Amino acid sequence: MDAYIARIGDLVVIGNVRPAVASLAAYRPGKGAEQAEAEHGIIDAIKLASNENPYDTVPTVAAAIAAAASGVNRYGDHRAVDLRAAIGAWLGVDQNAVTVGCGSVGLLQQLCLSYVDPGDEVVYPWLSFEAYPVNVKMMAGVPVTVPLIDHRFDLQAVADAVTPRTKIVMLATPNNPTGTAVHAADIKQLLEAISDDVIVLVDEAYREFMSGDFGDPVHDLVPHHRNVIVTRTFSKAYGLAGLRSGYAVADPDIVGELDKVLLAFAVNSLAQAGALAAIGAMDEIQPKIDILLMERDRVVEAVSGAGWKLPDAQANFIYIPVGASASELSAGLERRGVVVRPFAGEGIRVTIGTPAQNDRFLSNFLELTG
């Protein structure tokens, strides 16, 4: 055997890779439309698999990004000072309570880098965002998962799962993939039930699609609980997924720890320009969000009308708990050019697209399941 190759169980390891990384599965992004076309020999496939915004970036934001392109011979502003200040003013919070990351998933990684030592526990409901286990395991942390009840979080069980080894609790609201949200008042109850040295991440990647009835953790929780961090993103509602910019609101002490582990210049200058412009272009962006919300209601109604019981959809996707047929149904849709995200044995997650894309999903879904 080559001197640099070793085996850990079934794993072949070259060099001295950390066991925590060697045992990780590689990240698999949602399948793209072109890939599905090539695999199935079809044309005109549509991707409803990654919860992206189906609409082009709005003109004002596209122009700001184009204008920033002429400066990319220079590094961007590592601290993104203007963007932090703009987010602070936009949300009505102190700019020292704001930080930015390379997508909100970048902030998730920073949070784990800052708070999780090997053997530390991180508690989250499951099913939830697939990046949670990856980032916890990367640090040799121990994921502690709490089953959903009827596709919703059981926050009492989450509180009960917290131990003296728990460093972080992760709550995606709305949750990916189920789409259900939790009320800020219920998170407050959880915070009061657990030790305040446990960081509670409130991951609001889909905030803009959620009903206002669920409260606002930035104002309802962060000022009163120094251990809360709220993350949000420009990827989804603002249509900037390809540029990678997300932000967090938390106590300035948490912000300071996250900032220490931010990869140099991770929020690049185009991402900063796009996010800054988006904050000022809500008159162009909000109508597109409104269309997506109307379309979500229409798709929910059509699928429910066919007899499927759906969890409350609060994001830009719906979750259909089809159970054992999830993989087969998803493959069937894909052969017809509609790429959705299967969760084997559980359900399928379908991103809300343009009205024409949603029609295409609906007619194929209803035919395949009818």
Ligand X SMILES: Cc1ncc(COP(=O)(O)O)c(C=O)c1O
Residues that bind ligand X (CB under 6 A): 51, 103-105, 129, 172, 176, 203, 205, 233, 235, 241, 246
Tokens of 157: 């069980």
For 32, the 3-state DSSP assignment is coil
For the bound state, the minimum distance from the C-beta of residue 234 to ligand X, rounded and expressed in Å, comes to 7
For the bound state, the minimum distance from the C-beta of residue 130 to ligand X, rounded and expressed in Å, comes to 8
For the bound state, the minimum distance from the C-beta of residue 202 to ligand X, rounded and expressed in Å, comes to 11
Give 179's DSSP letter: -
Whose structure tokens read 């066919």?
Answer: 306
Tokens of 123: 């508690």
Q: Name which of 76 and 103 has its Cβ closer to ligand X.
A: 103
Contact partners, residue 168, CB within 8 Å, separation at least 6: 111, 112, 115, 116, 122, 123, 198, 199, 200, 201
Counts of helices then strands in the chain (DSSP H, E) = 14, 14
For the bound state, the minimum distance from the C-beta of residue 317 to ligand X, rounded and expressed in Å, comes to 9
Give 236's DSSP letter: S
Q: Name which of 61 and 172 has its Cβ closer to ligand X.
A: 172
For the bound state, the minimum distance from the C-beta of residue 235 to ligand X, rounded and expressed in Å, comes to 3
For 314, the 3-state DSSP assignment is coil
Q: Name which of 36 and 275 has its Cβ closer to ligand X.
A: 275
Whose structure tokens read 């017809």?
Answer: 336
Q: Name which of 87 and 172 has its Cβ closer to ligand X.
A: 172
For the bound state, the minimum distance from the C-beta of residue 102 to ligand X, rounded and expressed in Å, comes to 8
Instruction: Kindly tell me the sign of the dihedral angle through the C-alpha atoms of 151, 155, 161, 164.
Output: positive
Q: Name which of 192 and 265 has its Cβ closer to ligand X.
A: 265
206 near 349, Cβ under 8 Å? no
For the bound state, the minimum distance from the C-beta of residue 13 to ligand X, rounded and expressed in Å, comes to 29
Convert 47-90 into a string of H (helix), E (strand) and C (coil).
Answer: ECCCCCCCCCCCHHHHHHHHHHHHHCCCCCCCCCHHHHHHHHHH
Q: Name which of 119 and 242 has its Cβ closer to ligand X.
A: 242
For the bound state, the minimum distance from the C-beta of residue 232 to ligand X, rounded and expressed in Å, comes to 8
Q: Name which of 311 and 336 has its Cβ closer to ligand X.
A: 311
136: number of Cβ within 10 Å: 25
Tokens of 269: 């200058």
- Residue of this chain nearest to ligand X (CB atom): 103
Rounded to 5 degrees, what are φ and ψ at 341?
A: -105, 115
Tokens of 336: 């017809």
Q: Name which of 166 and 233 has its Cβ closer to ligand X.
A: 233
For the bound state, the minimum distance from the C-beta of residue 129 to ligand X, rounded and expressed in Å, comes to 4
For 326, the 3-state DSSP assignment is helix
Q: Name which of 106 and 336 has its Cβ closer to ligand X.
A: 106
Q: Which of 58, 114, 48 is nearest to 299 (CA)?
A: 48
- Chain centroid to CA 243: 15
